[in-house]
């Protein structure tokens, strides 16, 4: 997809329709592949982008959440002032598998003062049940779905 400007353009157009429906104020991308999708989407939609990163990679004061993985635990962080003003946030990543990382990101968005508007993924591995791990009232979009 990244080697083809046409393919990346098509992905951005399809994700733009998600943004038109959800109307977020900001895109939050999950490290690191969420940056590859989220930053161009934010630029395409003319809204801001905020990264969510692994510990110790962001400057200044940060907020963090710990979460469980299939094989242990991990932590995500966001700059403490990144979501000031209570913005509506669309969380973007490349893959929805078990949903743990995306669910932790939603908790982090709310902890930082944002309001969740929904989730958008390039691919969903539906058999792993990731949608069930996400907040039930949030819209979830995936461009491709594998059962």
Q: Which of 109, 101, 106 is nearest to 130 (CA)?
A: 101
Half-sphere exposure of 129 (CA within 13 A, CB side): 3
Quote the tokens at residue 13.
């157009």
Residue 71's pLDDT band, with cuts at 50, 70 and 90, is confident
33 is catalytic: yes
CATH classification of the domain holding 63:
3.40.50.2020
Half-sphere exposure of 2 (CA within 13 A, CB side): 6
Which residue among 14, 33, 75, 131 is the active-site one? 33
- φ/ψ of 65, rounded to 5, equals -135, 140
102 contacts 76 by C-beta, under 8 angstroms: no
Total tally of structural domains belonging to the chain: 1
Which residue among 3, 20, 46, 70 is the active-site one? 70
Quote the tokens at residue 40.
């161009």
DSSP 8-state class, residue 40: H
Is residue 89's pLDDT more than 80?
yes
Residues 98-126 have pLDDT tens digits of 999 999 999 999 999 999 999 999 999 99
Q: Which of 52, 35, 39 is nearest to 110 (CA)?
A: 52
Residue span of the structural domain in which 81 resides: 5-146
């Amino acid at each position: 997809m990244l080697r083809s400007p046409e393919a990346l353009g098509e992905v951005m157009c399809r994700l733009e329709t998600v943004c038109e429906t959800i109307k977020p104020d900001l895109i939050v991308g999950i490290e690191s592949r969420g940056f590859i999708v989220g930053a161009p989407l934010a630029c395409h939609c003319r809204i801001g982008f905020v990264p969510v990163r692994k510990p110790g990679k962001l400057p200044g004061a940060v907020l963090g959440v710990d979460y469980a993985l299939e094989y242990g635990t991990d932590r995500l962080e966001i700059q403490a002032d990144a979501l000031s003003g209570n913005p509506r946030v669309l969380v973007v990543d490349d893959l929805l598998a078990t949903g743990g990382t995306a669910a932790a990101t939603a908790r982090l968005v709310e902890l930082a003062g944002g309001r969740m508007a929904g989730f958008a993924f390039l691919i969903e591995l539906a058999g792993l049940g990731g949608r069930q791990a996400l907040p039930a009232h949030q819209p979830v979009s995936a461009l491709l779905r594998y059962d």
